[in-house]
Amino acid sequence: MTLTRDSSSWRALIVDDKVDNLKLATLVLESRKAKVKAISESQRVFEAIAEFQPNLILLDLAMPGLNGWEIQRQLRARPDLSSVPIIALTALSMEKDIQKGIEAGFDCYVTKPYRSELLIAQLTACIGQFIDGLS
């Protein structure tokens, strides 16, 4: 399904080691009709991508084992995922973290905690930019 600004077109893969956060993000995105797959074991991300075929990936950054930075680095190297925006959804809200995230090539950097409307608005804006950037 093609990714649009309309959240019902989103197939979002969410990776976060904190199950509570996974649940919240799932709740917010699903409330907007998005298809969501949430995984808390980061090393399973590639498997999940292959299985779920997301058109949007939200990564927590600070995770044990394979962290969000590493995952993003690997995913960005994959041509088959070049049309999938990868978004940081993290509690790392220091300016230098944000800077680092932008530099690393995250398509959007959203800090926790977030309010549902704000998250959707940010994601919508980000995805809009991403789609504009692709076309």
Partner 1 sequence: MNDIPSRRLLPVATLFPLVIAWVCLKGQQAGFYNAEFGLALFALANVIVFATLIFVVSRSLNHLDMQRSSAMQALQAAHDQLDQHVQERTLALAQANKALENSERLFRLLVNSVRDYAIFMLDTSGNIVSWNTGAEHLKGYTAQEILGQNFSRFYTPEDRAANIPQRLLQIAEREGHFVGEGWRVRKDGSRFWASIVLTAIRDEQDKLIGFSKVARNLTERMERERQLRFHASLQEAATDAVIATDMNFVIQSWNKAAEHMYGWREHEVLGKLATEILDTRFPPELPREQVLRSFHENAFWSGELTQHHKDGSAIAVLGSTVLLKDEHDTPVGIVSVNHDITSRKQAEEALRLSEERYRNLSSVLWDYACSYHYLNGSYEAQLEWVVGAFEEITGHSIEEALKNFSLGTPIHPNDQGIFRQRQEKLHSGQDDISEFRIINKRGEVRWLRSYGRPEWDATRQAVTRVYIGVQDITERKNIEVELAEERNRLRTLIDTLPDFIYIKDMQHRFLLTNIAHARARGCASPDELIGKSDFDFFPHDMAERFQDEETEIFRTGQPLLDYEQPSKGNAGGFVWALSNKVPIRNVQGELTGLVGITRDITERKQQAQALEIALKRAEEANRLKSEFLATMSHELRTPLNAIIGFSDALSNHLAGELNERQQEYMQIILNNGEHLLSIINNLLDISKIEAGQFELNNTAVNIAGLLDHVKRSLQSLADIKGLSLLTMLDEDMPTSIMGDDLRLKQIIINLVGNAIKFTQTGSVKVCIIKIDASNWAIKVTDTGIGIPPEALEFVFEQFRQVDNSSTRHYGGTGLGLAIVRQLSLLMEGSAQVQSQLNKGSTFTITLPLTKA
Instruction: Note whether 28 binds partner 1 by CB under 8 A.
Output: yes
| Least Cβ distance, residue 131 to partner 1 (angstroms) | 26
CB contact at 8 A, 88 and 73: no
Q: Would you say 95 or 132 has its CB closer to partner 1?
A: 95
Return the residue of 115, 132, 133, 135 that touches partner 1, per CB under 8 A. 115
Return the residue of 81, 91, 98, 131 that touches partner 1, per CB under 8 A. 91
Residues numbered 95-114 forming contacts with partner 1, rule: CB under 8 A = 95, 97, 111-114
| Peptide bond before residue 113 is cis, with ω within 30 degrees of 0 | yes
| Least Cβ distance, residue 105 to partner 1 (angstroms) | 21
Residues numbered 59-78 forming contacts with partner 1, rule: CB under 8 A = 62
Contact residues for partner 1, defined by CB under 8 A: 18, 20-21, 24, 27-28, 31, 62, 90-95, 97, 111-117
